[in-house]
Structure 1
């Protein structure tokens, strides 16, 4: 491969804050993580913003539908009480979130596997990253440069910005 030509499909995105590396994953394993809890499949793909939204959305809907209370009553054998406690409108939305999380994780795994195979055919090397800083001022300026760089991952910038919004909202 000609080293002067930039690769069409990078094998990894490296920065001081995150490392996203493409590698082959079994889509069924990622779907199982999404089935165990919505958002965990996206955490496996380092999509932290979408994972946080799915996790918080699941907690909110779980609370509104009173799913855990219904599970507790059904495990104790009080099936009529469990039926009375569950809110069916929220429960239908709860099932929709589960199905979306599983489908999205499976589809994303298939897409990332295809990107990995294409990058592997190009025999792309992982680019080096410089993580040495002399002061906090140079660290913040390097971080801002990384967000503006043409090699920066746009999802990375979105996750950082949404994390700051969430932090200021919670404070």
Structure 2
């Protein structure tokens, strides 16, 4: 492993390895990124490693969605109770919600297109980057990991898949809000009643306003962990290939040609 640091001696780098995670550029489908932003504002930016934008939009979504009672209105709409959906919505918060929601989708798509172009330039430049960090609190290094394990742990608890591939900050963020959603939605209490066969009680105790956050959260945790595991494996192979070519390929054995008898 090399010990280069991203010191701006090169114009573009493909990746940066730090004690809290590995940030890298790779090709992304802008439509998939936009879809995740539509599913939950902030997710598209988090997939792009735009963490400050992603965390800001995520927290904004949780706050404004709760204040406008949007999730409850969605549940009422799905059950055909349209009048109750209209009554429960708070227009002051709902009108505040729409512009930022549309911006999140547009900005994530635009950023994905731009970052794909930057990745192609960085791939062509192929600059060295740090691949090993030893710090007082953490050790991080490029290594190959199994995408199936990232998916499995993310299904158990969103955030564990990110810990598995050493995306510490995102893991803490995802796990914290998963705890928040599970607690306020009473989903575990509802599951307890389901096991006892008390379906009506399980339905009553469940809070739909908080529960509707959970499916998107789990889906993002699984998808993000899987994609980044696959891309980290590609980055590891690319870094190892460059290292071996630059340091050992020149010493390869050359067999002289022999004259035919």
The TM-score with structure 1 as length reference comes to 0.69
For residues 157-168 of structure 1, the aligned pairs below 5 Å read none
Residue in 2 aligned with 1:10?
13
For residues 77-156 of structure 1, the aligned pairs below 5 Å read 77-131=80-134, 133=135, 139=136
Shift of 1:73: 2.0
Q: What is the distance in 1 between the residues matched to 2:23 and 2:90?
A: 40
Residue in 2 aligned with 1:28?
31
Residue in 1 aligned with 2:66?
63
Unaligned runs of 5+ in 2: 1-7, 138-168, 174-261
The TM-score with structure 2 as length reference comes to 0.46
Alignment equivalent of 1:48, drawn from 34, 51, 59: 51
Alignment equivalent of 1:75, drawn from 56, 78, 94: 78
Asked if the contact 2:30/2:109 (under 8 Å) is kept, the reply is yes
**CA offset digits 1:41-98 (Å, max 9, x no partner):** 1111222232221111111111111112212222222212221211223212212221
Q: What is the distance in 1 between the residues matched to 2:66 and 2:116?
A: 36
Q: What is the distance in 1 between the residues matched to 2:122 and 2:77?
A: 50
How many residues align? The count is 133
Larger Rg: 2
Q: What is the distance in 1 between the residues matched to 2:91 and 2:78?
A: 19
Q: Which runs of 4+ in 1 moved over 4 A?
A: none
Unaligned runs of 5+ in 1: 134-138, 141-158, 164-171
Work out which structure has the larger RCO, using CA pairs closer than 8 Å and 6 or more positions apart in sequence: 1
